[in-house]
Chains A and B, each alone.
Chain A
């Protein structure tokens, strides 16, 4: 005798517990979860909107603290952008020129990208195309570890380890300089670049590789003639993310650059970045003072740089052709 189909679940418990036979308890909990669904949905909506809200709030806060500086008589926006003299606490004449600081940020970022991009892309290509599976996994984990090192620890490494090495190998007088900071920033950016590049290389369909092989391409040829052009949006995005990391880095460059208001093409000379300036001086600036507001203005400048970099990365990823026409 076949049992009638009485084991069909009651439709009331149509929530997450509706798999298999439903006990009364499960129905009870299921009904509770169903009832809570609109609450959960509201919570999730709140979290989503609050993310946008907080970003906007931060931006508004920085702008509110910075903008009154334009009304101050000590401050000249032209001098701010073009002068290399940063002397905000001078008893003689306060000067707020950030040209040397911008040079510091740019020079260190560009130099670090010159080091990080070949290493990062090379590692990504190796991991994605050439490494045997075991080595692939080990390498990926090790490179992620590099990303886990706190930035102030990198600062210590820069001063205590890299500094003496640079002095010994280049004969520089002092080991904390543009080169030191560039190396440290490169090491910090490499994990970012490797992760994103490796992802975009893996996203290229195998059919591309197979087609190239069928046409007789060697492995390396496949990489630079097929994969790079196909993955170029992702690779460019990876590089720009690395740039964003380098521009925003504070503690490590504070210690590694020698923190000196100095403009020089020689990478063995010290420099000072915008981020390190804010970090070292904001504590001392009296709230509401011109110095204080100028530091927030520097924050806005950094915001703009980061925004431009991220926007460019976004546009490139969307495949819009900028200056990178093939």
Chain B
């Protein structure tokens, strides 16, 4: 009798606990929904932005200034990397996905299948040169894309600065290769532009989580090389001029060379929406592409449209 009481008490407790726990389950079993901020319905005026770390400073500055233009719109900005923004676009957890690379075929297909009847829309909101940074002590001034590929690519043949004729003021001149984590649009763009579609990155690069970190690490490591947006240059690093093919003149990143297309590794800065954006998000986008928004692009060190 006593044993039955104990068992039934415990059973009752288990069932109640389980019932409580199961209320947390989502009934969506098609794999959708990573939670996080849901974009507001047409009534509430809020915009959720996530994505490119390269564009993070830019997006934050836009948000700050736009607050003066339309103070009733709440904007939330995050920057986990272009990959994170695109994953959020597909999952439907944001309004605007900032990206420093284009959507891949696979991602477009996945987005279309998750949101029936809608297509991802692309808006070009600025341009950026991908700068290659080295330490101030480094005597090298310019580099060719082929050599860059031999430093970063699989089967890398260039492992010391002396192979390129550069000196870093240390005995050990093995190149410390700084890269980004694979959620980064900058990483993906660099792969495309420098290594091409047939060659992988080499293993053993130090994968930083943000553009600022790359520049900071290069600034304190004499034998380092790293790539980051041109807007992240500081006085503690210098950038290399890039030549498309060895022997050709090397071009320095600047607004003019990006606009004229002579700088070989420049990319558009993009914002993606799933289908037609909500009216207040569309207003924001229009403002970003207007002269006012583009002025901020220039201020932040990028290239306006």
User: Which A positions have Cβ atoms within 8 angstroms of B?
Assistant: 41-42, 45-50, 53-54, 57, 84-93, 100, 163-164, 171, 173-174, 176, 254, 258-262, 270, 272, 280-281, 283-288
Contacts and interface: CB of A to CB of B under 8 A. Distances in A.
A173 B110 contact: no
Contact of A49 (B17, B80, B87, B217): B17
B76 to A, nearest CB: 16
Contacts of B183: 280-281, 283-284
B37 to A, nearest CB: 14
B68 interface: no
A277 B281 CA distance: 34
B208 interface: yes
Contact of B172 (A48, A173, A260): A173
A174 B200 contact: no
A182 B233 CA distance: 32
Given A281-B182, A283-B81, A285-B87, A260 B205 contact: yes
Given A281-B182, A287-B91, 4 more contacts: A91-B191, A92-B198, A259-B207, A280-B207
Contacts of A173: 170, 172, 174, 176, 221-224
B138 to A, nearest CB: 13
| Residue among B200, B206, B221, B224 with the highest chain A CB neighbour number at 10 A | B206
Interface of B: 9-10, 12-14, 16-18, 20-21, 31-34, 80-81, 83-84, 86-87, 90-91, 104, 107, 110, 170, 172, 174, 176, 181-183, 188, 191-192, 197-201, 203-209, 217, 220-224
26 contacts: A41-B9, A53-B18, A53-B21, A57-B21, A89-B188, A173-B174, A173-B222, A174-B206, A174-B217, A174-B224, A259-B206, A259-B209, A260-B205, A260-B206, A261-B207, A270-B206, A272-B207, A280-B181, A280-B207, A281-B183, A283-B81, A283-B84, A285-B87, A287-B87, A287-B90, A288-B31
Contacts, number: 124
A92 B91 contact: no
B176 A284 contact: no
Contact of B17 (A53, A84, A93, A259): A53
Contacts of A272: 207
Contact of A286 (B90, B197, B220): B90
B34 A262 contact: no
A54 B217 contact: no
Nearest to A271: B204
Contacts of B220: 163-164
A44 B222 CA distance: 60
A171 B221 CA distance: 11
B14 A53 contact: yes
A86 B181 CA distance: 12
Contacts of B197: 91-92
A285 B16 CA distance: 35
Nearest to B204: A262
User: What 7 A-B pairs come out closest when comparing CB atoms?
Assistant: A284-B183, A284-B83, A45-B13, A288-B31, A50-B17, A262-B204, A283-B84
Contact of A287 (B34, B83, B201): B34
Contacts of A284: 80-81, 83-84, 86-87, 182-183
Contact of A85 (B83, B170, B203): B203
Contact of B110 (A92, A259, A286): A286
A50 B21 contact: yes
A283 B16 contact: no
Given A88-B182, A261-B203, A283 B87 contact: yes
A57 B205 CA distance: 37
B9 A174 contact: no
Given A50-B17, A259-B206, A89 B83 contact: yes
Nearest to A269: B204
A104 B197 CA distance: 29
Contacts of B80: 283-284
Nearest to A258: B206
Contacts of B191: 91
A7 to B, nearest CB: 36
Contact of A176 (B188, B206, B209, B222): B206
Contacts of B16: 42, 46
B203 A174 contact: no
Nearest to A38: B9
